[in-house]
């Protein structure tokens, strides 16, 4: 599975509100850096995803591109533009950086 496939699988699961499947795309020691603060490890990440899954779907499809080994996703949200950068260890997400205004 490519890094792009991993991110697409993650977003498909999140869109279906299937958090169990969404979490399978993260490494056990993954870190998410977001405006809500850092989330370290799967337990904290799952709590952040629960909040994300409760939000309305973006009004437009996200734009997803590979940048080297990373995958960058840009989307419009009700709070404005958002940029997410995903880094990987093997085929799993090891780091996700979320920036508003991106």
pLDDT of 42-83, one tens digit each? 999 999 999 888 887 777 889 999 999 999 999 998 788 999
- What average pLDDT does this structure show over 15-26? 96
Decide: 57 and 77 in contact? Cβ < 8 Å.
no
- What average pLDDT does this structure show over 14-22? 94
Decide: 81 and 101 in contact? Cβ < 8 Å.
yes
- β-strand partners of 75: 82
82-92 tens-digit pLDDT: 999 999 999 99
**% of the chain with per-residue pLDDT over 90:** 78
Tokens of 10: 């993650």
DSSP state of 29: E
**% of the chain with per-residue pLDDT over 70:** 99
Q: Please report the domains of the chain, with CATH numbers, ordered by start residue.
A: 3-100 (3.10.450.50)
């Amino acid at each position: 599975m490519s890094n792009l496939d991993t991110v697409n699988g993650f977003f498909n699961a999140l869109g279906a509100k299937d958090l169990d499947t969404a979490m399978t795309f993260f490494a056990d020691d993954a870190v998410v850096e977001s405006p809500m603060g850092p989330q370290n490890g799967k337990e904290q990440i799952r709590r952040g995803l629960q909040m994300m899954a409760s939000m309305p779907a973006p009004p437009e499809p996200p734009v997803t591109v590979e940048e080297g080994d990373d995958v960058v996703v840009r989307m419009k949200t009700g709070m404005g533009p958002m940029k997410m950068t995903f880094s990987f260890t093997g085929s799993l997400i090891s780091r996700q950086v979320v920036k508003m205004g991106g």
